[in-house]
Amino acid sequence: MRNSITDRVTLHNGVEMPWFGAGVFKVEQDVTARVVRDALQSGYRMIDTASIYGNEQGVGDGLRESGVDRKDIFLTTKLWRHAHDEQEIFDQFDESLRLLQTEYVDLYLIHWPKPMFDQYVATWKAIEKIYKSGRARAIGVSNFNIPHLERLAAECEIVPMVNQIEFHPYLVQTDLQQYLQAHNIVLEAWSPLAKGRILTDPAILGLAAKYGRTPVQVVLRWDMQKGIVTIPKTLTRERMIDNADLFGFSLSETDMTLIDRLDCHLRTGPDPDVFDKR
């Protein structure tokens, strides 16, 4: 069901994850608590951060200040530095929990595969252990392409529950999308608004006028109808509320296809095969 902001998709381990949440990439530490509090108080139940964003402390503060029960919130963070030594992975995870001021996360992701260093298999094995300890209710990856996922399938025990990838009407990655669906891995879209670029596309503006909705609502509704989890970012409380108002209308099949046809393989972020930041 995708009829309200609280509806959830069931991951392959049985954990339920909201279809819709708020991302906090590039949100400064000192405004993060306010953004997270606003999101949770506006009905959002999922927050997406990462150790490299440098704002986990602010996320933790926002969670606490929101007054929303921790068990009702789905919290994701991501591991930055790969390592063959599992203790290095455990230490990074512990530090995230400390900053987030929580005893567990709902989803822990490897942020990038960084295949040139050949450490993501060892890193995933350490993350499997964190999962088995119960301190991450679900585990997954981000920016993994099919060959990276196939190596995990061949050499590891647990299939990732989620792959968080760049996904918006300009970049739909059809082969990867089909692979994820076939392997019961949930696709979570990062930069679902193409960092705002999609909002001035003439086709999206035309559909917004046709449905009497905002361009953001049209794009996020397209995701919802495709069964894609989204985590748009905004600093503004009014926009948060407005962006989430996407459950009271449906795009026709013809208009869904019209948006599908906007794909032009445009990345707003790095290519995972060459991204090598340590």
Secondary structure element (H or E) that encloses residue 79, with its range: strand 74-79
Nearer to ligand NDP, 87 or 204 (CB): 204
Nearer to ligand NDP, 193 or 253 (CB): 193
Nearer to ligand NDP, 102 or 143 (CB): 143
Give the nearest distance from C-beta 35 to ligand NDP in angstroms: 9
Give the nearest distance from C-beta 178 to ligand NDP in angstroms: 20
- Is the Cβ–Cβ distance between 207 and 255 less than 8 Å? yes
Active-site residue (options: 53, 108, 120, 131): 53
Nearest-Å Rg of the Cα atoms of the chain is 18
Give the nearest distance from C-beta 179 to ligand NDP in angstroms: 18
Footprint of ligand NDP (CB under 6 A): 23-25, 48, 111, 142-143, 164, 190-196, 199, 214, 216, 231-236, 239, 242-243, 269
Give the nearest distance from C-beta 112 to ligand NDP in angstroms: 7
Give the nearest distance from C-beta 162 to ligand NDP in angstroms: 11
Catalytic (active site) residue 53: yes
One-character DSSP codes across 119-185? -HHHHHHHHHHHHHTTSBS-EEEES--HHHHHHHHHH-SS--SEEEEE-BTTB--HHHHHHHHHTT-
CA angle centred on 264, ends 1 and 162, rounded to 5°: 40
Nearer to ligand NDP, 89 or 204 (CB): 204
Nearer to ligand NDP, 134 or 213 (CB): 213
DSSP 3: S
> Two tokens at 229?
């989890």
> Two tokens at 207?
């559909």
CA nearest to 262, candidates 219, 227, 229: 219
> Two tokens at 23?
């991302």
One-character DSSP codes across 180-194? HHHTT-EEEEESTTG
Nearer to ligand NDP, 183 or 239 (CB): 239
- Is the Cβ–Cβ distance between 39 and 190 less than 8 Å? no
Give the nearest distance from C-beta 168 to ligand NDP in angstroms: 7
Instruction: Say how far apart CA 266 and CA 178 lie, in whole Å.
Output: 19
CB atoms within 10 A of CB 52: 16
Give the residue nearest to ligand NDP (CB): 23
**Which residues are catalytic, by number?**
53
